[in-house]
Every structure is written in structure tokens, then in C-alpha cells.
Amino acid sequence: MSLARLSFLRKLLTGTRLRFFRGVMKMDIHPTVEMSLSAKPDMTFPKGVHIGEYTYVAFNARILTHDRTRGMYMHTRIGRNCFIGGESIILPGIKVGDNCVVGAGSVVTKDVPPRSIVAGNPAKVIRSDIEVGTYGRFLDADETERRIRSSDPLAADLPNRMGS
């Protein structure tokens, strides 16, 4: 099976899954959100999941809305233009501000201020006042990729995501 066909099937599956979350489960997920097939928004209190536009939720990330031991159900909000790293966990009732990056494997136990990078367990702010574009992509990412490709002969064979 060709890579183009696999890519098409992946987009079809992720799109169908997001429509299910929005339509059937009534999650508040903006239509521009991209989410890995293995990302896990909480199905116990689905109306408590809120994800803003142009946000990316990576593989095995969990967005929780309930604490069964205390019988609490809370709204968990992720802002616009965010990147939620793989294997990270956003605990119930947390608000991740706009333009944030959550590092892979992080456990977010407190609200994240806008324009911040958080990482660790528990997640801590490691940088503030960052500039990101859609899906939490750093604005200088294209230039960084260009420099890597020009200095590393092996990188020339990698797929080009910059459109050039």
C-alpha cells in the first residue's frame, strides 16, 4: 500500500474520530484541531473537554475531566495554537492558556499561563513569553529545519514538511 494511501486513510480515521467526539460525545473541540489516533480525551465527562482552534494533541496524550476517587467532574480547557506532547497528561480542571507547548510525558497539575512551555512531572514553566504559530509550532521552526538540512547530508533524504 502506498504512503499516499496510508496518509489518506489516517486523515479519514482521525477526521471521523473527531466528528464522533464533537457530534456524539458533545466535546467542545474546534474543527481545526488535530489529534493523534492514540490521544485519549476523557469519555467519563466528555462535555468537560474543551480544545481551542489550531491545537495539536500528540500520541497517547490524555485529557482528563474527572477524579473518580473524589467524585469530581471538572472542565479541562486547552487554548488556541497549543501543542500537547505525546504521553502527557492534563489533569481535571486544568486550563492551558493560548499559544502553549506541553512537553512530552508531562503531567500538568496546575493551570498553564498563555505563551508558556511546560514540562516535567509535575509540569513546571520552563519558558515564558514564547512565540508560536498554529499547532504550537515555533515561528522559527522552518529556518531551523532549513539549517539542519543544509548542514547534515543525511537530512537531505528526510521528507520535506516546509513545502519547498
* Residue 162 forms part of a structural domain: no
* Residue 50 forms part of a structural domain: yes
What are the Cα distances from residue 107, in Å, to 26, 36, 121?
25, 18, 5
* Residue 164 forms part of a structural domain: no
What is the percent of the chain with per-residue pLDDT over 70, rounded to a whole number? 90
* Residue 75 forms part of a structural domain: yes
* Residue 163 forms part of a structural domain: no
| Total domain count, the chain | 1
97-148 pLDDT tens trace? 999 999 999 999 999 999 999 999 999 999 999 999 999 999 988 888 888 8
36-66 pLDDT tens trace? 999 999 999 999 999 999 999 999 999 999 9
Q: What is the pLDDT of residue 3?
A: 64
* Residue 46 forms part of a structural domain: yes
pTM of the model: 0.86
CATH of the domain at 127: 2.160.10.10
Range of the domain at 32: 3-157
* Residue 60 forms part of a structural domain: yes
Q: What are phi and psi of 10, to 5 degrees?
A: -60, -45
